[in-house]
Amino acid sequence: MDRSSPSAEFWSQDSQVQAFSVNSQVLLYETALIGEAITAAAISGEVQQVHAVGVGTGRELPAIRLQLPEAKISAWDVADPMVEACSKFIQAQGLTNVSVGQANIVDLGGLSPQADVVILLNAILCYVNTPQDRRRALEALQQLLRPGGTIAAVVHQPNGRIDWATWFGLRSLLARISLVEGGSGDRRISHGNSTMLFHHYTPNELHRLLSSAGFEQIQIRSLRAWSRETGHKIPLRSPNPLMVTAVRSDN
């Protein structure tokens, strides 16, 4: 398994692990998204095996357990210190039938048994920072799922807020003439001693990637659209991420 990715280094810092060790509860929209993915997967078979990818210190695990009391939950994270902290959290919470291990998303494709649902909360796919790896990551997730299995993911978008849309619009022009690093949608983030590119996906880009990796029934909506649909208010300055579910096709 790949332990040397920029993401592993970025997320292995003590201060990151400490920040996430607060383990705040999942938000209402995240619970709703997990529920939608479970319901869609249940159309084609029982939901007995869930993978939580990029699990950090384990914030989402109690929420998954609440929705699926009997399922086996396999959690993964690229950063060893996160895996260690998550393992302690699982014990402290008394969660059973839950395992956690170190893995990069791009390496998860060959695992057996295949998953009924894969959950990636909190921008995990945005830390996959080259176009090739983004394709590999979605292909790996497709292989990890059984036919009819589903993913639930939350990712950042460039146009979720007016200030971001303006910034990304300008950056995209500069990227086209190679005056800035990375492609349009990329932005450099820093924490402590570490820095890496972070990718914001447009809905079209994400749809294309999912579709060419073998997903169908792709549903992509912004958190603000969800807020309008459900009447649950979100903060004015929310990053307004994209909420994504998709079904692995039969082939």
Which residues of this chain interact with ligand SAM, rule CB under 6 A?
5, 7, 11, 20, 53-56, 59-60, 76-79, 82, 104-105, 121-124, 127-128
Residue nearer to ligand SAM on the CB measure, 47 or 78: 78
H helix or E strand, kind and range, residue 164: helix 162-176
Q: Which residue is nearest to ligand SAM (CB)?
A: 56
Distance, CA of 76 to CA of 84 (rounded, Å): 11
Q: How far is the CB of 119 from ligand SAM (least distance, A)?
A: 8
Residue (88 or 228) nearer to ligand SAM, CB: 88
- Rg (the chain; Cα; Å): 17
Residue 91 or 166 having the CB closest to ligand SAM: 91
Least Å from the CB of residue 169 to ligand SAM: 25
Of 67 and 217, CB closest to ligand SAM? 67
CA dihedral 230, 236, 241, 246 (to 10 degrees): 10
Please enumerate in sequence order all residues whose Cβ is within 8 A of that of 48, keeping only pairs 6 or more positions apart, or say none: 70, 71, 72, 116
What sign does the dihedral 57-60-66-70 (CA atoms) show?
negative
User: Least distance from C-beta 86 to ligand SAM, angstroms?
Assistant: 8
Q: Supply the minimum distance, in Å, between the C-beta of residue 177 and ligand SAM.
A: 30
Which one, 13 or 217, has the nearer CB to ligand SAM? 13
- Closest distance between ligand SAM and the C-beta of residue 43, in Å? 26
Which residues of the chain form beta strands (DSSP E)? 49-53, 72-77, 98-102, 115-120, 145-155, 186-191, 194-199, 215-222, 242-248
Cα 203 to its chain centre, rounded Å, is 15
Q: How far is the CB of 44 from ligand SAM (least distance, A)?
A: 26
- 41 versus 123: smaller Cβ distance to ligand SAM: 123
User: How many residues are recorded in the chain?
Assistant: 251
